[in-house]
Every structure is written in C-alpha cells, then in structure tokens.
C-alpha cells in the first residue's frame, strides 16, 4: 500500500463513520419530536424503538469503531513512520466490519431488532442483528492485532528507544479493546446467538447482563481515547505551545486501561443478580478511574496555559483570552473540556452507589452520556477530522470560519439538548419511553423541557450536516494543500529515559488479568454453581 493508498484507506474508514453519524442525527430529531407528542401523526412506539435502536448502534458502535480504526492506522503509520503491516489483513478487517454493519442495519431498519444498543435479553432481535454486531467486533480485532504487531516490529527495530506517545496511547486503546470486547463476545457466542438461532429455549438474563457490564464500562474509554490522544498530541501544538508532560500522559492512558476494565457493575447497582459487596467493590474502582481524567484535564489545561502565556497572555486568566480560539482544534478542546467537566460530574453522581438509585433508568442517564460522549468525544472527533482532512485529501479546508461555527453550534445544541434531559431525570422521567403524554400533573411538568429538546435536536442536526458538508466540499473542491506532514506536540521537557513500564504493556496486561479475575471470577462463576433458579430445581 503506497502512502496515497494508506491515506485513502483512512478516509474510507472516516466516511463510513461519518455517514453513520449523519443518519443517526436525522433519527435523533425524529425521536425528540415523536417523544414530545406534539405531532400525533408520527406517534408510534414500534417506529420509535426501531429508530432509537438504529441511532444507538450507529453512534455507539459504527461511528466509533470505524473512526477509531481509521485514526489508529493514521497514528501508527505517521508516528512510527512505517507502512501498515499486512494490508490484505487490514482490508479484510475493514470489509468484515462493514459487512457486519450492513447485516445488522437490515433488521434494525425493518424493526426486527428493536432491542436498543445494549440488546439486553429477554428482548430478542433477529439473528442477523447479532451476527452483524459480532462481525463488526471481529473486524475491529484485525485492526487491534495489526496495531500491536506494528508496535512490536517498531520496538524490535528500535531497541531501547521511547515509543512515540501517540502510538503508545493508540496501542493502549487496542489492548483495552481486546480485553473489553471479551465480555460481549462471550455473551454473543454462548447466549444470544444460540438463543436467537433456536438452539436454546431460555437465556440467563442475569449472566447476560453481567457479561455485558464487563464490556459496557471500558467501551466508553475505547471511544474516549482518540479524544485524549488529540488533547495530548494535537492541542498543545495547535495552541502554539508544548505538551506539559509526556510521562503524565502515559500514566493516564495506563490508568484508564487498568482501572477502566474491572468496574462495570456500576451499571448493575439495582440489578438483583449480583451481591451488594461486588457492586461496592466495582463502585470504588469507578472512583479510581476518574483520576486519569483529572490528570488529563490538568495536563491539557497546563499545556494550554503554557501556550497562552507564550502568546503574551498575562495574569491569572489572561492566557485564556490569548489562546487561538479560532483554531478548530483549540476551540474544540476548550468546549470539550467544559462538557467533560459537567458530564464527568454527572458520572460521579451515577457512580455513587446510593445516589445512583435517584437517577438510574431515568432521563438523567441519556443526559449524562450525550453530554460526555456526543459532547466531549464527538467534538474532538470533529477537530481531528478538520485537522487531518487536508493531510489526507491534499486539499485545504474549504473555509476557515465554517468549522468554528460548526463546533460552536454543536456545543450550543448539546447544551440545549442535555440540560433538560438531566432535569427531566430528576423530575422522574424514565429513560427509554416512546411517549411522554400521559397528561398527568407529573408529565405536564415535563412538557417545556421536551420542547427545548426538539430545538436542541434541530441545532445538532444542522451542525452535523454542516460538518459533513465541510468535509465533502474540502475533498471535492478544496485548493491544493502543500503541507501534508502531521505535527505531534513536543513535550515541554524532552523524554530522556523511560522505565520499561511506561514504554510497554507486559506488566499492565498481567495486572489487568489479576484484577479481572478478582472482580469477575466469582460474580460470573456463581451462575454455574448455583442451580436455585433453574426450574427443575424447583420441581417445575
Ligand atoms: Fe458514564 C452510564 C459513570 C464517563 C458513557 N456512561 C453511562 C452510559 C454511557 C456512558 C453510554 O457509575 C449509559 C449506559 C447505558 O445505556 O446503560 N461515566 C461514569 C463515570 C465516568 C463516566 C464515573 N461515561 C463516561 C464517558 C462516557 C460515558 C467518558 C462516554 C464516552 N456512567 C457512569 C455510571 C453509569 C454511566 C455509574 C450508570 C448509570 C445508570 O444508573 O445507568 C468518569 O470517567 C468521568 C470522569 C470525569 C471527571 C471530570 C473531570 C473534569 C475535567 C474537566 C476540567 C475542565 C475544566 C474547564 C476545569 C471526574 C477533566 C476548563 C476550561 C477551559 C476554558 C480551559
Ligand atoms: Cu460505566
């Protein structure tokens, strides 16, 4: 694969991701409209749940996986300065993932897989949905494997040298993903697929939810890590400064990987199948995983301060005004950090065992994850796309001002959408309902918030379409871009010598293995040793 071909390959990944994203945004607007009940003609629980399921799968799995794979290939080839290892394998992974996406999309769009993006049994989808989702994950494993082989080859060719930070973080994400996806893979292989194929009559819902919880928490960091990579390696350079600390960045990625995996039971606080002690243990771990995000906030803001002062900013806050706010990468980072602060605060409330009962299964939860995922993470995906598009296509961005307009409108739309969502949760609105017009005193109090959310949804759709327009215009009509070299930020203090544990993953894989055994062996094992729930044990 020539350089040109490799860039084309990355663009192909990005277009799949952004096409999925644009379609999902259209569905989002339908959903806020339908739920509010202001247009009775479009009220339909069946269509609503088909739509939410498609929206969730496209955003959470298709957009993210393709974006992460494309970005990963770019980071690996440019930071290690080597071609993609085994291109036929990489292409096979791409086509398997794309084939799986199409296969899952068919039942989703036909309303035969209205199981939402968490596909919790006993609600059942058409078998094509489970097969398609499995293929998407299998395709992504090709990518993860290729990333690790490239890291290994580079280390063999450069003994004793420091792995470039972007690749170190990218490999951490590949490893995180391999560990993360095991939970859902076991659920698919031994439960959902045999059940959907009719090979099994019943399914243990408790076991399925436990296995899904294994995946559900760390997957959010799989989505988040590209945003953090941009925070560390693009933002400081774009702001005109340096990265505050390379070592702190590595420590953050390691902590996300190690602490992010064994804590999924904060999604099961109110579930009956796990004991309180295990939930508490996972709850405590959840607070530990906030530390790398706090470190990231600190390092990125410190890097921005270094840049702001270099640009002549004075006083306690003068550096903020001196930052290049019109640079899409810098603007995105600032907006993204603001949403991370608020979304992370909500996450802390969710994670607090007792307070979780106040918000669990209410509208607060989609409020939380739209703010932090659709807000923080996707805003940085936009910024990465704006930065890389000229490098990938060889064309200058079609406009200097439209990207900033798009980023601001996404931020404003997300604020208008998610603030009411949080309030509605506190007012007792359940999540995952297709209709809020019960016409009781309680639901009347929800109405103004529902209307605001329609406005938020429309602003977001306009912003999403603008994003796609900018990329399309640039690629088809942009002027020639002479500078195709990527600029990764230099650390303030050059890395002289790193301990092996900050330059590799051997130790951390062993730590993860121990933590996973400690936190999941008994909770999963119990399903095989306890027969008290089987109908035969009760004489039925
Ligand atoms: Fe979450 C539910 C806890 C982060 C996504 N989360 C979800 C679900 C999703 C999701 C999709 O404990 C729904 C799952 C479902 O469908 O059932 N979440 C957390 C915690 C964090 C967290 C503790 N979540 C994320 C991220 C996501 C994501 C990231 C996607 C990418 N979440 C939960 C819990 C639930 C949950 C429970 C279950 C709820 C339930 O009951 O169902 C942490 O990682 C958050 C750490 C972040 C912070 C913020 C630090 C602040 C910083 C900003 C500094 C900026 C400043 C401003 C000062 C502690 C770094 C700078 C300004 C300038 C001008 C420069
Ligand atoms: Cu979680």
What is the Å distance from ligand 1's center to 369 Cα?
Answer: 7
414: domain range? 72-103+131-538
Q: How many other CB atoms are found less than 10 A from the CB of residue 126?
A: 18
| Ligand 1 pocket mutation pick from 270, 279, 372 by most atoms within 8 angstroms of CB | 372
Residue with the smallest CA separation from ligand 1 atom 34 is 350
44 falls within a domain: no
In-domain check, residue 527: yes
- Identify the pLDDT of residue 486: 92
Read off the pLDDT of residues 343-392 as tens digits, 9 standing for 90 and up: 999 999 999 999 999 999 999 999 999 999 999 999 999 999 999 999 99
Residue 29 in domain: no
pLDDT value for 176: 98
pLDDT at 173: 98
Evaluate whether residue 201 is within a structural domain: yes
Q: How many CA atoms lie within 13 A of 130 on its CB side?
A: 22
- Write down the catalytic residue from 8, 432, 484, 510: 432
Counted domains in the chain: 1
Assigned domain for 232 exists? yes
The residues of the chain scoring below 70 in pLDDT are 1, 439, 531-540
Cα 115 to averaged position of ligand 1 atoms, centre (Å): 24
Q: Tell the residue nearest (CA) to atom 64 of ligand 1.
A: 334
Residue at 37 is within a domain: no
pLDDT given for residue 374 in this prediction = 98
SS3 491: strand
3-class DSSP state of 243: strand
Say what the pLDDT of residue 29 is: 98
Whether 15 is covered by a domain: the verdict is: no
What CATH number does the domain containing 370 carry? 1.20.210.10
Residue 403 lies in a domain: yes
Long-range Cβ pairs for the range 335-338 (8 Å, 24+): 335/379, 335/407, 335/408, 335/410, 335/411, 336/227, 336/231, 336/375, 336/376, 336/377, 336/379, 336/380, 336/383, 337/297, 337/300, 337/301, 337/376, 338/411
Here the tokens at position 147 are: 């990333």
Confidence (pTM): 0.96
Catalytic, 7? Answer no
pLDDT at 210: 98
User: How much is the pLDDT for 453?
Assistant: 97
- Cα separation, 308 vs 329, in Å, equals 14
Residue 226 in contact with residue 68, Cβ under 8 Å? yes
Query: Contact, 256 vs 505, CB < 8 A?
Result: no
Using CA positions, which residue lies closest to atom 52 of ligand 1? 341
Q: Measured in angstroms, how far is the CA atom of residue 286 from the centroid of ligand 1?
A: 10
């Amino acid at each position: 694969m020539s350089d040109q071909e490799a860039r084309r390959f990355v663009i192909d990944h990005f277009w799949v991701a952004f096409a999925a994203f644009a379609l999902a945004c259209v569905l989002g607007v339908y959903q806020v409209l339908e739920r509010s009940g202001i247009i009775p003609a479009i009220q339909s629980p069946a269509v609503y749940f088909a739509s939410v399921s498609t929206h969730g799968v496209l955003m959470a799995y298709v957009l993210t996986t393709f974006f992460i794979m494309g970005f990963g290939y770019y980071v690996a080839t440019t930071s290690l300065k080597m071609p993609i290892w085994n291109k036929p394998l990489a292409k096979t992974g791409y086509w398997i993932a794309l084939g799986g996406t199409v296969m899952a999309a068919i039942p989703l769009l036909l309303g035969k897989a209205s199981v939402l993006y968490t596909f919790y049994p006993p609600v059942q989808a058409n078998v094509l949905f489970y097969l398609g989702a499995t293929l998407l994950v299998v395709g992504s494993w090709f990518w993860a494997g290729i990333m690790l082989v490239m890291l290994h080859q580079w280390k063999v060719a450069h003994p004793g040298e420091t792995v470039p930070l972007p690749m170190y973080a990218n490999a951490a994400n590949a490893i995180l993903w391999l560990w993360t996806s095991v939970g859902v893979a076991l659920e698919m292989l031994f439960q959902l697929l045999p059940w959907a194929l009719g090979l099994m009559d019943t399914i243990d819902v408790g076991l399925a939810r436990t296995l899904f919880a294994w995946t559900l928490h760390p997957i959010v960091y799989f989505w988040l890590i590209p945003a953090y990579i941009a925070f560390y390696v693009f933002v400081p350079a774009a702001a005109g400064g340096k990265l505050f600390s390379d070592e702190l960045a590595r420590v953050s990625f390691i902590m996300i990987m190690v602490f992010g995996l064994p804590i999924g039971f904060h999604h099961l606080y109110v579930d009956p199948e796990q004991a309180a002690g295990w939930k508490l243990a996972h709850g405590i771990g959840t607070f530990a995983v906030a530390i790398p995000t706090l470190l990231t906030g600190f390092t990125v803001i410190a890097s921005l301060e270094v840049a702001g002062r270099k640009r002549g900013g004075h006083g306690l806050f003068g550096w903020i005004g001196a930052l290049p706010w019109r640079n899409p990468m810098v603007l995105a980072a600032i907006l993204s950090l603001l949403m991370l602060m608020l979304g992370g605060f909500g996450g802390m409330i969710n994670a607090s065992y007792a307070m979780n009962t106040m918000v669990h299964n209410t509208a607060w939860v989609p409020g939380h994850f739209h703010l932090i995922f659709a807000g923080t993470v996707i805003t940085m995906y936009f910024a990465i796309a704006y930065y890389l598009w000229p490098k990938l296509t060889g064309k200058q961005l079609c406009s200097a001002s439209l990207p900033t307009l798009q980023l601001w409108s996404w931020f404003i739309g997300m604020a208008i959408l998610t603030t009411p969502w949080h309030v509605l949760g506190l007012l007792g609105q359940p999540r995952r309902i297709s209709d809020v017009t019960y016409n009781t005193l309680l639901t009347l109090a929800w109405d103004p918030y529902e209307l605001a959310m329609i406005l938020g949804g429309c602003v977001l759709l306009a912003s999403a379409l603008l994003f796609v327009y900018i990329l399309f215009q640039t690629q088809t009509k942009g002027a020639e871009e002479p500078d195709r070299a990527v600029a990764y930020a230099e650390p303030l203090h050059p890395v002289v010598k790193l301990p092996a544990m900050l330059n590799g993953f051997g130790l951390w894989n062993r730590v993860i293995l121990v933590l996973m055994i400690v936190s999941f062996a008994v909770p999963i094992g119990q399903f095989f040793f306890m027969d008290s729930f089987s109908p035969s044990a009760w004489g039925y």
